Chains A and B, each alone.
Chain A
Amino acid sequence: MPEHTFRVNGEQVTVDVDGDVRLLWVLRDILGVTGPKYGCGINVCKACTSHINGKAVNPCAIPVADLQPTDEVTTIEGLPATVGKDLHPMQQAWLDHDVAQCGYCQPGQIMAAVALVRRAAAEGRAITDADLDGLRNICRCGTYFRIREAIKAGAENM
């Protein structure tokens, strides 16, 4: 079987699997990185949201063969290290606002929130209600309001 080499949370990894297996399953079933969750498998619910080279992606929709050796995959487990701390400011904001209920969607929510704040910052602006309305991540527990509050607070410290 073909080998695929890329980076996950700061480490170079090589996996031996067919190239069309989606990254979500390479992370979860082969590498044992279980932070990104399955919620739909068709890039709709956003529970698996992670970063590739700092941008939000959904690993359920990425064949592993699409990755280059230099591509840096960051999952929720690797988010704190991107700021050299035990917790990323967005994770801290999540704790401060006691956002999580069941917690299943929360890794994806946080990764989507971080990318959103970075995008707004790159455009030289603060996040808006329209930005928050545009987040597609499902939270079936319905903790949406606390998510909005936490993103605004987390953005202040990013």
Chain B
Amino acid sequence: MTGPNGGGLDEAIGRRRFLGYVVAAPTLVAAAELGLTPAPDVRLPSPELTELLDLNDMMTAAALPTSGLITVEVNRDGTVSFALPRAEVGQGITTSTAMLIAEEMTVPLERVRVTLADARPELVFNQLTGGSNTTIATYTPIRVAAAIARLRLLAAAATELGSAVTDLTMRAGVITDRSGGGIDIGALAEKAASMRTQQVSVELMPRENFTVIGRPHNRIDALDAVTGRKKFAMDLDIPGAKPTMVCRPPTVNGKVGSVANLAEVRAMPGVTDVVTISTGVAVRAETFGQCIDAVRALRVSWKPGTAEGKSDESVLRELEAAELPLGPRPPTPTVEGRFTFYFRSNSALEPNCAIADVRADRAEIWSALKSPIVAKQAIAAKVGLPLGKVTVHVTEGGGSFGRKLFFDAALEAAEVSQRIGKPVKLMWHRADDSRQGRTHPMSTSRVRVAYLGDTVLSYKQRHTSVSTDLGHGLGEIITAMAARLPVGDIGFSQTFFHLSQAMSYDFGGGSRLLNETGKGFNTGSMRNVYSPDVTCARELIIDQLATRMGKDPYRFRHDFLRDDRSRAVLAKVAEVGGWGRPMPAGTAQGIAFHAEYKAVSAALVEIDCRSETVNRPVRDGVTGPRVTRAVFAVDVGLAVNPRGLEAQMMGCIMDGIALALTSSLHLRDGYFLEASWDNYFYTRQWNTPPELQIIVMPSTSEKPGGAGELGVAASMAAVACAYGRATGTMPTSFPINHGTLSFTPKPTIPPIPPSPTDGLKHAR
């Protein structure tokens, strides 16, 4: 019974009590189902779909009927282990997960060991790291498992100490009775274990008692990171797995025709194997240096690729042809804009890489994978083994930004290992990673806003993009969920687009539609997917609209935002950033807002577009306008680890600066020109704002929202708006420097550049 009339107690229990398990094991193992969070309330279709359901609700709901168990284990040494079925790629989820366990179990954070789970097909949709969904989906289940472990430990301690459970206190991993007798949880690990698996109900720690969640904590892997002990895939010592690289085609997805000098290259120093595979010619050697030399020595004739002859200009024409109409122009005044966003690379610093050991009867893979189940299925199919004979280990990732949703290197490594019958440690050269790796697709966004007086009548946006490949498994979720969604028969990417794009402003009617075109490119979701481009276009138009209506850009946004929570972050950056302060000519402020992942965010930046700044000399780099200050406010509901959240926002700001000002791929003659970090201009120290303030707003919710991608959209938009205000011209093409090629493209044959020899001369 629930409700206001006499149902208080039941309601409280209903809200707080959760079911989990004690699992039969020699030491204490407590478990919960990963899909514990309540199902979203799916109601009738509405023009504003995101109000009913967002992408995270869908991802969380997708897990409900199929989820397996996650387990918290107490070890004899007093540590607590948890294998997280997600990929840690820098976003800090191992730390936040350890915090959840430390909180519920009242054990020190240092005693919690979080590792990354191998691919677990029984989790079906529930081992995908994406959509900034990890904390949203795991917050309750992990706490439930930890709370059950605590309950069992207390019961075991009561028996040991001869006290009632109510007379025990648990602190810092030690349970103490009233007489001061204490026992460490390690000594209880076996005694609290269960002979059989049984269901247990448990209450979670009330919010007001939190001492760990919501307080800033440093990363649990920080010491390993700063001492070089942190192990990434290529740092693992797997017996017999020797360095392997692939000689790749000169155009996107070209194929091997023939190889003229196989025998000669096989005889090169250190080389053990050379073999043609589906993506190129693979070379295995004693060192990666010898792989590089061998790849460069190969004389390969190539067949055409999948983007033959295409260029930025031809793709732009394709996009224009595919654009959905905005409809007849209304009789009222309108503001319109058309924006172009060129291809961008989601290369992480750790390039695509994987270790594979494929034998006749089994296969083992090591790689940083955000969709390990799909990877396992694809690898099993590729090498012709039953799923159960393929083991996929998820390693710590050196960044992702969407790149590790795919498993291109793991699939390739498995193919090479099977072909040569030896283990391989396969890594893409940086040039490969940039030219043949996944990209954020080129897109255009057209916006039309109709207004009259002080009222916005309608907002229409037509986003047209080269197809984004969602084939890493998110597509499967959408397939599975489509019948339950109020979206009719629209396709995967359109569903994704609708679910991720909230309209936060009270802009009357209108529609925002996605159309995709032009396959043939290796695309994928890049951090924040559609939102940076869509939001950038919207916020630039809002600045124009504000000007037409004679309003201040900040006041305009504040007036039209729909809710207090949104207005609060905007007001916070305006206040902290000193919105409207006088600034010299050629410099300006910009302000922007974005909501997604059950969170809201706002950015205020100051930019310096004066020639003495734009033309600062930097060798082999792009200087350009400098963002001199960034102020960012974020409200994710409940921030589990505010320090980690700040770190994510900082990274998002750097991404936003790069997307607006400097970083893009140039497509010419069927290939991307960029082959180096000195070609693809991601933000560098000389582009970094010397002043940066990130404000984590007081919690507005009992539950955490997503954070890993959240800050990119508002940051990019604020930089674009600031640039427009500083120069007096609204930018319409991104990044703004795309029209100027700021480097000399490297050759495509051989596909990778020579290793330099002058390193000692540059010692400094």
Which A residues contact B (CB, under 8 angstroms)?
Answer: 1, 17-18, 20-26, 28-30, 32, 34-45, 47, 52-53, 55-63, 66, 75-77, 80, 87, 91, 94-95, 98-107, 110, 115, 119, 129, 132-148
Cβ-neighbour of A132 out of B429, B643, B647, B685 (below 8 A): B685
Contact of B399 with A102 in the complex, beta carbons under 8 Å? yes
Q: Does B303 contact A (CB under 8 A)?
A: no
Of B218, B650, B763, the contact of A143 (CB 8 Å cutoff): B650
Instruction: Tell me whether A52 and B430 are in contact (CB under 8 A).
Output: no
Contacts of B688 in A (CB 8 A): 133, 144-145, 148
Q: Closest chain B residue to A67 by CB distance? A: B760
- Tell yes or no: B211 within 8 A of A by CB: no
> In the complex the two chains form, is A141's CB within 8 Å of B90's CB?
yes
Taking CB as reference atom, which chain A residue is nearest B678? A44
Q: Residue on B with the closest CB to A119?
A: B764
Which residue among A62, A110, A119 has the maximum number of chain B CB atoms within 10 Å of its CB?
A62
A110 vs B349: C-alpha distance when bound (angstroms): 16
B763, A56: Cβ atoms closer than 8 Å: yes
Q: A44-B678, A102-B89, A145-B692 are in contact. Are A34 and B218 (CB under 8 A)?
A: no
CB distance from B607 to the nearest CB of A (A): 16
Chain B proximity of A32: nearest CB distance (Å): 7
Collect the chain B residues with CB atoms within 8 Å of residue A18's CB: 269-270, 290
B685 and A21 within 8 A (CB): no
Complex: how many Å from CA A132 to CA B293?
Answer: 35
B9 CB–A CB distance under 8 Å: no
Distance in Å from the Cβ of A88 to the closest Cβ of chain B?
A: 9
What would 13 A/B residue contacts be, using CB atoms closer than 8 Å?
Answer: A37-B350, A44-B620, A56-B763, A77-B229, A100-B221, A101-B651, A103-B396, A104-B90, A104-B398, A135-B685, A140-B347, A143-B647, A144-B684
Q: A45-B677, A60-B759 are in contact. Are A34 and B650 (CB under 8 A)?
A: no
The 9 A-B residue pairs with the shortest CB-CB distance in the complex, in nearest-first order: A35-B228, A142-B654, A102-B90, A104-B398, A61-B759, A103-B225, A62-B759, A76-B228, A142-B651
Assuming the A-B contacts A39-B430, A44-B678, A104-B350, are A95 and B218 also in contact, with contact meaning beta carbons closer than 8 angstroms in the complex?
Answer: yes
Cα–Cα distance between A134 and B625 once the two chains are bound (Å): 16
Beta-carbon contact of A145 and B650 below 8 Å = yes
Contact of A140 among B231, B288, B401, B678 (CB under 8 A): B401
CB of A145 within 8 A of CB of B689, answer yes
B676 engages A25 (CB within 8 Å): no
Beyond contacts A22-B759, A28-B234, A77-B227: 7 other A-B pairs, Cβ-Cβ < 8 A, are A20-B757, A34-B231, A34-B235, A41-B752, A44-B677, A95-B223, A103-B226
* Assembled-state Cα–Cα distance A44/B675 (Å): 11
Indicate whether B199 reaches chain A with its CB closer than 8 angstroms.
no
> Are the C-beta atoms of B762 and A138 separated by less than 8 Å?
no
List the B side residues contacting A75 at CB < 8 Å.
Answer: 228
- Chain B residues lying within 8 Å of A53, measured Cβ to Cβ, are 763
B286 interface hit (Cβ, 8 Å): yes
A52 to B759, CA, bound (A): 11
| CA A56 to CA B686, docked complex, whole Å | 20
